[in-house]
Structure 1
């Protein structure tokens, strides 16, 4: 099956599953099949009936990206289906969406809760949108913070906790800014980044210096630590991974840096378990 044949099958199936009444259209008594008619899809998407018919038939015609976007919205396509439509029609990914997707999918939530190390999820402007309980213990409780306070880049650049060691803070700030510049170049919502850049330019000398440098990093990696009374300082090596289901999200995992750190983290987990109330026995 060619791409054009699959495009035709996909579009027919997409309009066939839509109930006319859900889009404010009358059911009519003469409909021989469920779903929308071609002329209804064309009208809702702002296309001529002829162009839509040819497109659905798999003819070699090219629609603009905005027209394909309107068609996708008319057919109520999911994000995955939208990508599929662009791949079939234009052999390329769709344009970047301007809206941030902050919903943590069930699979990502399950992974966060299953990991035995701290892990969190950020969106492209570095706002933390998901985390596990070890993050709340090891770093900070994001659940007690407003969304506007959960920008990881601003936290790391402005929090005095990270400035006690000037050499470490300088290296960290330069590295993070180099990555932040890369994310800024890739975004479809530069105004959000502009607000962060403006604020840090006013408040952080290290950011002003680092932003003026030419350093760029396309990966997220580094070492950080947390101190726990009666346990000691635990060093973590963190790396980030794209969340395949939501490309605008990144999963950051904090693994113990050395064997000693792994032992201390085990001790911390044990203390957390001991501090939790015992489970009530199940009723007979």
Structure 2
């Protein structure tokens, strides 16, 4: 079955399950078929009847993302159905939702709790919304921080501990800002960055310099050092991964850099088994 045939079937089924009263229309006379008429869907979505009819029939026409969004809202599609509609119509994921999704899904929470390494979840503007006990032991306890202070970009750029070595800090600041610029360009909610950009412009000379540069970095990775009282210094390499069920969220994993670091991390887990849920 082609995408266009499935698109036609899907739209007809979504239209058929709605009643006029559900969308604020009078029931009127008895209907020959269940659900809304094509002209009603078109009017509610702000489309011409002809254009919607052709789209539902699976003809090779293209709708803009805002028009598909309006159609999805008119048909009362769920988030998953919205993604499906964009996939069928445009062969790509939909734009990021109009708000930052900070809800940690149960599967993600389980993954965080059972990983034997530090891990956290950030949203588009780098606010930390999820973390595990290993992160608390190795780096910091985000639970003690208000949301406005749980921004990983601010922590790394403004924290005094990261500025002790000017040359390495400058290189890190350049990489971080280049990545933030990429995230800003991809965000469905660029206004979510306004407060962060304003604060960093005021407080960080490095940010002001690198924000004006043309450098862009689309991948996130690097190294971190943590000093853990029970085992001493542990060096980590970190990388990030998009969370499929929550577009806009990224999972950041901190893996031990070398064999000695892995042994120290294993010793920490032995000394404090409560850091990893069974």
TM class by shorter chain equals 0.7 to 0.9
Query: What root-mean-square deviation, in Å, do the aligned CA atoms of Structure 1 and Structure 2 show?
Result: 2.6
Deviation at 1:254, TM superposition (A): 0.3
- The match for 2:220 is 220
Structure 1 residues 127-206: aligned runs within 5 Å: 127-206=127-206
Structure 1 residues 1-284: aligned runs within 5 Å: 1-25=1-25, 30-31=30-31, 34-273=34-273
Contact 2:126 2:152 in 1 (8 A): yes
Deviation at 1:84, TM superposition (A): 2.7
Report 1 or 2 for greater relative contact order, CA contacts < 8 Å, sequence distance ≥ 6. 2
1:178-205 residue CA offsets vs partner (Å, 9 max, x unmatched): 2112222323333332432221122122
Structure 2: how far apart are the matches of 1:125 and 1:210?
Answer: 17
Deviation at 1:11, TM superposition (A): 0.3
Matched residue SS, 1:121: strand
Seen in structure 2, the aligned counterparts of structure 1 residues 217 and 48 have a Cα distance that, compared at 3 Å, is closer
Structure 2: how far apart are the matches of 1:275 and 1:201?
Answer: 37
State how many pairs are aligned.
Answer: 276
Deviation at 1:115, TM superposition (A): 0.8
Please list every run of 5 or more consecutive structure 1 residues that lacks an aligned counterpart in the other structure. 277-284
**TM-score if structure 1 supplies the norm length?**
0.85
Seen in structure 2, the aligned counterparts of structure 1 residues 129 and 19 have a Cα distance that, compared at 3 Å, is farther
**TM-score if structure 2 supplies the norm length?**
0.87
1:236-263 residue CA offsets vs partner (Å, 9 max, x unmatched): 1101111122231111000111111112
Which has the higher mean CA deviation after the structures are superposed, 259-268 or 146-155?
A: 259-268
Seen in structure 2, the aligned counterparts of structure 1 residues 81 and 171 have a Cα distance that, compared at 3 Å, is same
Seen in structure 2, the aligned counterparts of structure 1 residues 212 and 29 have a Cα distance that, compared at 3 Å, is closer
Seen in structure 2, the aligned counterparts of structure 1 residues 10 and 210 have a Cα distance that, compared at 3 Å, is same
Structure 1: how far apart are the matches of 2:229 and 2:69?
Answer: 55
Seen in structure 2, the aligned counterparts of structure 1 residues 167 and 13 have a Cα distance that, compared at 3 Å, is same
